[in-house]
């Protein structure tokens, strides 16, 4: 394993009796690939390091939601089954407010707005990817019956410079690759995205510039929501400097 077995302790952003919030590093998958063969299961992933996060409890924490391998930032872990059920309900009902920062190629036509485009999974000889559809529901696309699901993302541009834009996104749904597909759909692909958008070789070779910046978690009905923020990673700092000081 490339990381120290206790490295997540230093990346702990929040802890209570129900949940942990960690700052996930980019480039590390959250779990092993589904259906991986025995040898493939030994590939490094975030779950390998959960033992250090027991903090006296008998069970390992579990993922309460997901982040893509190449996305950094705030990730919630549930500390026991009751907490996992509670967090699952909050995410399913859209009560957890998620804020992402993305550095994109180009500038959006509108400085803020809502992207309401259904998403479906497309598979071909090159593998799979997510694509936008016309409306949610079952459709016949290129002779195949496809189920599209509604996906909604609000965004606003924080800064622009040198043909790039710093975009704040708040996904209202939790579809696979949603922010990446939605920003590409409005003409501003994320720099470093290995899959989506028309990017130059240099732009593609960057680490992906997508960061789960903050979470607001209404864990208790009688207390204020838990507010957690993850600092932007070093991999984003060079490009962030292009936007100047005093980032919001």
pLDDT score at 142: 63
CB 99 within 8 A of CB 169: yes
**67-77 pLDDT, tens digit each:** 999 999 999 99
pLDDT band at 248 (very low <50, low <70, confident <90, very high): low
Find the Cα–Cα–Cα–Cα dihedral 179, 181, 186, 187, rounded to 10°. Answer: 110
| Distance, CA of 126 to CA of 145 (rounded, Å) | 19
Q: Which residues contact 130 (CB under 8 A, 6 or more apart)?
A: 119, 120, 121, 122, 175, 176, 177, 178, 180, 181
| Distance, CA of 193 to CA of 210 (rounded, Å) | 9
Q: Which domains does the chain have, with CATH numbers?
A: 1-93 (3.30.2350.10), 94-248 (3.30.2350.10)
pLDDT score at 94: 94
Which pTM value belongs to this model?
0.91
Q: How far is CA 223 from CA 162, 217, 226, in A?
A: 43, 11, 9
* Count of residues making up the chain: 248
Q: Is it the case that residue 40 has pLDDT exceeding 60?
A: no
DSSP letter at 191 equals T
CB 172 within 8 A of CB 119: no
**77-94 pLDDT, tens digit each:** 999 999 999 999 999 999
CB 40 within 8 A of CB 63: no
Residues belonging to the active site: 68
Neighbours of 242 (CB within 10 A): 14
pLDDT score at 171: 98
DSSP 3-state of 77? strand
pLDDT score at 244: 86
pLDDT band at 137 (very low <50, low <70, confident <90, very high): low
**How many Å from the N-terminal Cα to the C-terminal Cα in the chain?**
36
- Sequential DSSP letters for 139-165: EEETTEEEEEB--EEEEEEEEEETTEE
| Distance, CA of 121 to CA of 175 (rounded, Å) | 10
Give me the chain's average pLDDT, please. Answer: 91
Could you give the residue ranges of the DSSP H alpha helices within the chain?
A: 38-41, 81-92, 178-185, 201-205, 234-240
């Amino acid at each position: 394993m490339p990381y120290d077995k206790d490295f997540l302790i230093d990346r702990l952003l929040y802890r209570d009796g129900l949940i942990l919030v960690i700052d996930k590093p980019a480039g590390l998958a959250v779990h092993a690939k589904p259906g991986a063969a025995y040898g493939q299961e030994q590939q490094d992933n975030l779950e390998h390091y959960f033992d250090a996060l027991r903090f006296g409890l008998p069970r390992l924490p579990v993922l309460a939601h997901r982040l893509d391998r190449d996305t950094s930032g705030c990730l919630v872990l549930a500390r026991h089954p009751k907490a996992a059920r509670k967090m699952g309900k909050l995410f399913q009902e859209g009560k957890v407010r998620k804020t992402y920062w993305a550095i994109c190629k180009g500038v959006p036509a509108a400085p803020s707005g809502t992207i309401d485009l259904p998403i479906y999974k497309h598979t071909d000889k090159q593998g799979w990817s997510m694509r936008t559809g016309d409306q949610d529901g079952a459709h016949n696309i290129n002779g195949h019956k496809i189920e599209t699901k509604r996906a909604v993302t609000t965004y606003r541009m924080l800064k622009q410079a040198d043909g790039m834009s710093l975009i704040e996104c708040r996904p209202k749904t939790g579809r696979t690759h949603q922010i990446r597909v939605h920003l590409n759909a409005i003409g501003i692909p994320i720099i470093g995205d290995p899959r989506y958008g028309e990017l130059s070789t240099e732009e593609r070779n960057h680490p992906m510039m997508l960061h789960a910046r903050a979470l607001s978690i209404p864990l208790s009905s009688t207390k204020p929501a838990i507010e957690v923020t993850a600092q932007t990673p070093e991999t984003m700092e060079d490009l962030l400097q292009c936007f100047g000081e005093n980032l919001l």
